[in-house]
Structure 1
Amino acid sequence: MSIEDDIAFLERVPTLALIGREALRVIAISVERYAVPRGQALFREGDAADCAYVVVHGTFSVTRGNDEATRRPGQATRVGSTALLGEMALLTDTKRPATATALEDAEVLRLPRMVFLRTLESYPEAAHRLTRELTAQINATLAELEKVRRRLEAIDGEPRP
């Protein structure tokens, strides 16, 4: 694929589309492509995380719970092309909260945190758009959690913090 093809592909990833074409050009130049054979873990829960991955093709199962015995059917999330895996690692030093395993032969783009952060420094308007969107998502999550808290209070009659 050419750089232009990579940019066009990255624009299809909702979170990355927020930063704009010029910022994506810088990122597209720096991404690394990896083949991930069926059954191989892309990363494991608890691993240190210094990058995110975009699924180019293939499907991944994303599961929580470090050992097979603790996983239950239905706990896995399936993701495919244009999914952004490990996006928090683009912004902060963190550990993987889940394991991503290829369900078929797959290909991913690796986006290193340092490249992403330097790109945001160079394109402050992109950083602002991303911040706005992440803030909106966090606020929506907090609103949903508040609804759950109120429902739990209604069920057992006890105030919750």
Structure 2
Amino acid sequence: MALDDDVALLERVAVLHVLGRETLRILAIGAETRRLKAGETLFREGEDADCAYVVVDGTIALKDVLNSGQPEVQAGSGALIGETALITQVRRPATAIARDDATLLRIPRNTFLRTLEGFPAAADKLQALLAQRMAETVAELARVRQRLENLGDAPQEPRPA
């Protein structure tokens, strides 16, 4: 894939788009191409995560194996997988398997962080976006908490003996 194509792909990723074209160009230069055959595992739940992946083509299935009550999530072209690993050390919360032949861009955490150091304005934009997303998550959790509390206050029907 040509560098300009990689940059165009990264621009389609909402969380990366805010960084700007020049920053994304540097990220694209530092990214590594990874190809998977259908059925091949990209990573397993619980593994240390030191990078994120952007799906170039193909489909990646994300399965929560340990807490298998969650449905499988499909990630297609332009999807960012493992974004938290770009900024902090975490473990993979799911297993990722190629549903068909797939190509991905691997963005190592150290490359991402070094790039942000060189582009402080881009880092500020990313920080603002992440702060907004965190505020939205906190607000949603407050709504869920309120609903759960309301359920607890509801009269309970007697159970048959």
Match of 1:79 in 2: 75
Paired residue type of 2:113: L
1:142 corresponding residue in structure 2: 138
- 2:53 and 2:7 map into 1 onto residues whose CA distance is 15
Could you say which residue in structure 2 is the equivalent of 1:29? 29
Larger Rg: 2
SS of residue matched to 2:142: helix
Unaligned runs of 5+ in 2: 155-161
Secondary structure class of the residue paired with 2:84:
helix
Q: Distance in 1 between matches of 2:40 and 2:125?
A: 35
Question: Is residue 12 from structure 1 mapped to residue 9 from structure 2 by the alignment?
Answer: no
Counterparts of 1:75 and 1:103 in 2: how far apart (Å)?
15
- Where does residue 49 of structure 1 map in the other structure? 49
Q: In structure 1, what residue type is equivalent to 2:37?
A: P
Distance 2:86 2:94 in 1: 16
1:24-73 Cα shifts (integer Å, max 9, x gaps):
1111111111111111111111001110000000111111124xxx635x
SS in 1 for 2:77: coil
The residue number in structure 1 matching 2:64 is: 64
1:124 equivalent in structure 2: 120
Match of 1:90 among 81, 86, 101: 86
> Distance between the aligned counterparts of 1:126 and 1:47, measured in 2?
29
Partner SS for 2:140: helix
Q: How many residues align?
A: 154
Q: Quote the residue 2:159 is aligned against.
A: none
Once the two structures are TM-superposed, the CA of residue 6 in structure 1 deviates from its matched residue by 1.2
Moved over 3 A (4+): none
TM-score by length of 2: 0.91
Shift of 1:125: 0.6
Match of 2:96 among 96, 100, 105: 100
1:133 corresponds to = 129
Q: TM-score, normalised by structure 1?
A: 0.91
What secondary structure is seen at the aligned counterpart in 2 of 1:104?
coil
What is the CA RMSD across the aligned residues, in angstroms?
1.4
Q: Work out the CA distance in 2 between the residues paired with 1:11 and 1:22.
A: 11
Counterpart AA for 2:124: H
3-state SS of paired residue (1:88): helix
